[in-house]
Structure formats: C-alpha cells, structure tokens
Amino acid sequence: MAAAPTPTLAKAVLARLSADDQKTVNTWRWHDRLVSLWAPVTVLAILFAVYLTIVETAVCTYLWLQPLMQGVGLLCFAWWAVLLVVRTPVAKKWNDARDARYRAEEILTEVEATAQRARKHLKDKAWDDVVAACEGQVRAFGKPAEEVRAATRVLEQTWDKHLKAHKGGLLDLGGGFVRALAIALAFRAVLLDPFKIPSGSMIPTLELGDQIFVNKFIYGVRLPFTNNVPFVIVRPPKRGDVIVFNNPVRQEVDYIKRVVGVAGDSLEFTDEGLVINGKLAERTSENEQYRFWEHNEVQVTSLEGLKYWVSTWRDDDWVDRPEGLYRETFDGVPHLVLDEPGRRRSTLDKMTQGTSTKVPEGSVFVMGDNRNNSADSRFGLGVTQGFEFVPYGSIKGKATVIWFSLSHGGFLSSLFGGTGIRYDRFFTPVTMCGDEKPRK
C-alpha cells in the first residue's frame, strides 16, 4: 500500500485548529486584505476591467454604466483616503496590531515555502516544532500587537533552529519581484497600455490631458523589437477606429489619430468634406459656434523646458477657440470632428501632393478629428511632404476608454493654471454610441 502523501505545512496547521479557530483566522486575514491601501485600487481595477470589456462589446451600455462606474470610483477613493487617515497616530493601537499581523504573514509565507522545500530533511520533531510555531502565530491573530509579535519571535526562533540552513538563494529571494515584473511587462506588451493625449489634434473626441488605455491585442500582437504582426487576433483596423501608432517616419514618437481609409480605399479631400470610394462621408452639423480649449503641451527636454512646464501649472495659458462641430459617420458608427469651411479651404491648399490618394495594402490612412489642426497622413505625419500611410506593423493598438483626465476646468483648476481633474470625462469610451445628446 502506498504511503499517504505528507500534508503541506498550511494543511498541517489547519488540522490543529477547530472550525471556529479557522473562521477567526480567515476573518482576520480578510480584514487585513480589505484595509490594505491596495484593496480599493485592486477592486477598482477589477471593476474597470469588467466595465471596459462590456463597453468595448456593446458601447451604448456606457450611457448608464459610466455614472455607476464614476460613483464606484469616488467610493474607492474615499475608502483609500480613510485607510490613509487611520495609518496616522489617531489609530495607533489598531495600526500596531495590523502591522504586527502583516509582519507575521510575511514570516509565515517564507517559513511555508522553505519548509516545503526542505520537508525531506526535517525529522518528525523538527516538523512538529515548525507546525506548532505556525499554529501559535495564526492563533495570535486578532490579539493585541504584543501577543502577535511574541508569537512571531517564537516562529523566527524556530526558523533559525530548523530551517535557516535550507533558505533559498538570491534567485528565490528575488523570485516574487521577478514574477511580478514579468506579469506587468507582459500585461503592457500584450493587453493594455496607458497613453496620454499630447496635443489638440483629436479634439473634440480626446482633449489635452486625457489619459486613455490602448487595446494592444485586438489587431494582433507585434513581435518584440519588430514592426511585424504575424496574425490578426480579433480583426484588422477599420474606418473610424482611433489608433495609437509609432510614427513610421519618426519612430521614436507615438501618434494618435483616427483611421479614415483602409487598404484599397480611394480618398479625396474636397470643400464639401472627405470622399471615400466616391461617396461623401455622411456628416451633420452639431454646433456651428462650438468653443474648445487648448494650450501648448510642453515636452520637458531641458532646464528651460522644465521652467516653462512648471509655469504652465502656475499661469493659465489655456486659449478658448471657436470651430464648427460636426457629427461624421463611417460605416454607421459616428464620431465628432472640428471643421470650418474657410479653414478647410486653407488646409486643402497646403496639401502639396494633391487632394486624392489610394491606400496601399497593409496600411491605413489617418486623420485627426481637429481636421484643420492635425499633422496626419495628409501632411507627411508631421515629418515629410505629401501623403504618408501607417503600416499595420506600426500600429500599437486601439484607443478604448479615458481612465483619467487633467484638462481645462475641473477640480482644482483655479490653483493650477486652469488645469483640473475632469471627473466628468473619467470612464468615457473613445468610440461613440450614437445616442449621445448634441454638444453645446
């Protein structure tokens, strides 16, 4: 008959506890998880992931889900703020006990990992000592800080006596950090990446200071250190998508624009608007006197640049500008653009390579929603003269949702040069539903 498998240290400790004792230990462990400063952040992140999945699948759900998500965000911030307050001397006794349990959990985790690694070297007496010390530690949960620390000292002494010789090397010590770093890098490389809107070229869809997430897998994951996408995961880019991409003619810079033409499309730029494959893009006027705010976004590359950047947070340099606001539609999906007939004619006159083109295979043609103030495919992507297309391999992903916004107006804007927290923009999808009320 085969010998029964040796129980893990955690199971051996639990076997010595009554059902009530186990319930008490679990209650305190959950308590400590919920009072961690990471708890509200984790809860909000999980709910945001669910929200993002829903609105990317059915965008119109955001019309009623966004207010709920904004309310949850405020609750999580209040939760985090309260936890921050109780870490001050106002709750010293509670805080000391929490710190003691936190240290105890660290030791228990290390002891369990080492005991399992060294189990075949531990004789029965040594194993019983380790189990008893761990049992004493978990039974101390919920008691005053000094009792928890006393149990921790016993556990540390048992560690020194029976397990110190079996502790892991540098690789084991750094294993947790390496694993966390690998997960974070993989997440950014394959799933979502944050991106800050650096200019006003995508107003009114995206404003200066908006922070968005980029879906990096929808079009296919690029091979590391290359601009090659071996296969499409969900679908290729389509007209109307807002994409983030490496500028193919200035690859150290990332741009964000809207796809207006895909492979094979014939495009023509006229006084009436954009013509795609011989058909004028559907467009309706939403507000002929729309006003928006913009300012110069400063890239800090020198001491003078740093001084100017600091000054923008002290002095209000936002400028109020007028422009015609239109609702344009590609393949049944609407988006907003800024345009004005007089400026449109001036923009057409600046196009050095004519006013028509055809999109080559494996590429897209992009434009900013601020049609007369955008260095896009019409203007060499801000680098060359004439048309420039964006190859699929240069596309980093599709813009999804605004998760944070520091833009004109909003909370604390009077203190920081007109720039404030625009909570009304939090959790706004980049893709429109079509049922939104007209902007005023």
pLDDT digits (tens, 9 = 90+) for 293-341: 887 765 655 666 566 556 666 777 888 889 999 999 999 999 999 998 8
Which of 41-50, 136-145, 295-304, 374-383 is predicted with the least confidence, judged by mean pLDDT? 295-304
Tokens of 335: 């988006």
* Catalytic annotation present for 257: yes
Domains and CATH numbers, the chain: 9-171 (no CATH), 191-429 (2.10.109.10)
**Higher confidence at residue 220 or residue 434?**
434
Q: Which of 11, 161, 196, 201 is catalytic?
A: 201
The pLDDT, as a whole number, for residue 365 is: 97
**Higher confidence at residue 267 or residue 354?**
267
The pLDDT, as a whole number, for residue 237 is: 93
Mean pLDDT of 149-154: 94
CA-nearest of 199, 238, 217, 227 to 335 is 238
Tokens of 48: 């945001």
The pLDDT, as a whole number, for residue 3 is: 41
pLDDT digits (tens, 9 = 90+) for 383-425: 988 899 999 989 999 999 999 999 999 898 888 888 899 999 9
C-alpha to C-alpha distance for 356 and 102, rounded to whole angstroms: 66
The pLDDT, as a whole number, for residue 361 is: 93
Residues 242/430, Cβ–Cβ less than 8 Å: yes
C-alpha to C-alpha distance for 27 and 11, rounded to whole angstroms: 18
Most confident of 4-18, 62-76, 412-426: 62-76
The pLDDT, as a whole number, for residue 317 is: 82
The pLDDT, as a whole number, for residue 4 is: 44
Residue 137 sits at φ, ψ, to 5 deg, of: -65, -50
DSSP 274-292: EEETTEEPEEEEEEEEEEE
Mean pLDDT of 117-121: 76
Is residue 186 pLDDT above 90, yes or no?
no
The pLDDT, as a whole number, for residue 278 is: 93
Mean pLDDT of 243-264: 94
**Helix H or strand E encompassing 29:** helix 19-34
Band (pLDDT 50/70/90 cuts) for residue 2 is very low
Most confident of 9-18, 160-169, 206-215, 413-422: 206-215
Residue 65 sits at φ, ψ, to 5 deg, of: -80, -30
Is residue 348 pLDDT above 60, yes or no?
yes
Numbers of helices and strands, H then E, in the chain: 11, 16
* Catalytic annotation present for 394: no
**Higher confidence at residue 381 or residue 233?**
381
pTM: 0.85
Region of 332 please: left (phi>0), alpha (psi -120 to 50) or beta. left
C-alpha to C-alpha distance for 247 and 32, rounded to whole angstroms: 47
Residue 206 sits at φ, ψ, to 5 deg, of: -130, 130
**Helix H or strand E encompassing 440:** none
Mean pLDDT of 158-175: 64
Q: Which of 199, 216, 257, 398 is catalytic?
A: 257
SS3 268: strand
The pLDDT, as a whole number, for residue 308 is: 58
Mean pLDDT of the chain: 86
Band (pLDDT 50/70/90 cuts) for residue 8 is confident
C-alpha to C-alpha distance for 197 and 255, rounded to whole angstroms: 9
